[in-house]
Amino acid sequence: MGEALQAALAERYDALSGSLRDRLISFVLDAFDSLGSYRDADAAVFIERVLPVVLGVQQQMGQITDAYLSAMIADMLGGAAAPVGVQLGEALRGTPPETVYQRPFVQMYTALSQGADYVDALAQGRNRLLSITETDLQLARTHAARESMERGGARFFRRRLSSGRNCALCTIASTQRYRVADLMPIHPGCHCKPEPLPGNRDPGQIIDERLLEEAHDAIARDLGESDRGGRAPDYREVIITREHGEIGPLLAVRRQNFTGPDDIPAA
């Protein structure tokens, strides 16, 4: 079938995964917005109501990812698609999900303690919840993809950009090949999907030189020169992958660091 079937599979998968994401985000944010107050007791009620749905949708994301990739690999390598399903652990971050979904409330309490007004503090908590929910769904996708591609015999993959607007991090990263043994690097708000590369021969690190050059030129043009010598920054050397303690591989900009113990003020 080749490219036509693969394009149809990708389109169907995008529609299903996008619908899952949109419905879950709507449910989670509506549940947060409908709370009468945001004290500890309200947070407990919120988590009890929302978490089973979140975990269920993560499993659904894993199942449709497995079905999609199994069909893609079968078409690329020959043979019949044989998805057997994936079973994702509840703690994809290595942290109990109850702790993770408490964080929007902690964000709100912290903002209030630092002098933010109630409306701003509430917005910060809500934004944190949105970021957590989106990231967890993307983690479900990447964990399921690794398991499915390893089982299907694929050795290398690329990140396929979403059909909407894509940031420079994702665009440049999409020009690289990755090894199936590694999780796809993500970042908050990332909607890219892993896509197996045909064959078992290493295609080399850069698989789309043209797109890489276009992205580099566009960023340099928009941001201007980087120094008085007139040299534009080479973003192939700026955009890197860092290992996040919970999320795993995370796309980042060089010199961008995570908060560590030394950043916590003494009591």
Residue 209 located in a structural domain: yes
- At residue 108, the pLDDT reads 96
Please check whether residues 51 and 102 belong to one and the same domain: yes
Please check whether residues 196 and 252 belong to one and the same domain: yes
Residue 265 located in a structural domain: no
pLDDT 10s per residue in the chain (267 long)? 578 888 888 889 989 999 999 999 999 999 999 998 999 999 999 999 999 999 999 999 999 999 999 988 888 877 666 666 777 877 788 889 999 999 999 999 999 999 999 999 999 999 999 999 999 998 899 889 988 888 888 888 888 877 666 677 777 777 888 888 887 777 667 778 888 888 777 877 787 778 777 776 766 665 554 333 334 445 445 555 666 766 676 666 554 444 443 433 333
What is the extent of the structural domain holding 203?
155-259
Please check whether residues 132 and 173 belong to one and the same domain: no
Residue 186 located in a structural domain: yes
Please check whether residues 166 and 114 belong to one and the same domain: no
Tally the domains of the chain.
Answer: 2
- At residue 259, the pLDDT reads 44
- At residue 261, the pLDDT reads 39
Question: How far is residue 140's CA from residue 18's CA, in Å, rounded to a whole number?
Answer: 14
Question: How far is residue 69's CA from residue 66's CA, in Å, rounded to a whole number?
Answer: 5
Residue 201 located in a structural domain: yes
- At residue 170, the pLDDT reads 78
Please check whether residues 176 and 231 belong to one and the same domain: yes
Please check whether residues 209 and 130 belong to one and the same domain: no
Please check whether residues 100 and 202 belong to one and the same domain: no
Please check whether residues 136 and 165 belong to one and the same domain: no
Question: How far is residue 169's CA from residue 154's CA, in Å, rounded to a whole number?
Answer: 25
- At residue 33, the pLDDT reads 97
Residue 41 located in a structural domain: yes
Residue 119 located in a structural domain: yes
Burial (CB count within 10 angstroms: exposed 0-12, middle 13-18, buried 19+), residue 35: middle
Please check whether residues 77 and 108 belong to one and the same domain: yes
Please check whether residues 163 and 216 belong to one and the same domain: yes
pTM of the model: 0.78
- At residue 153, the pLDDT reads 85
Question: How far is residue 81's CA from residue 148's CA, in Å, rounded to a whole number?
Answer: 11
Please check whether residues 125 and 173 belong to one and the same domain: no
Last residue of a domain, one of 90, 124, 154: 154
Last residue of a domain, one of 139, 154, 169: 154
Residues 193/160, Cβ–Cβ less than 8 Å: yes
Residue 160 located in a structural domain: yes
Please check whether residues 147 and 46 belong to one and the same domain: yes
Last residue of a domain, one of 135, 154, 173: 154
Residue type, 100: V
Residue 267 located in a structural domain: no
- At residue 201, the pLDDT reads 79
Residues 182/248, Cβ–Cβ less than 8 Å: no
Residues 98/92, Cβ–Cβ less than 8 Å: no
> How large is the greatest C-alpha to C-alpha distance in the chain, in angstroms?
64
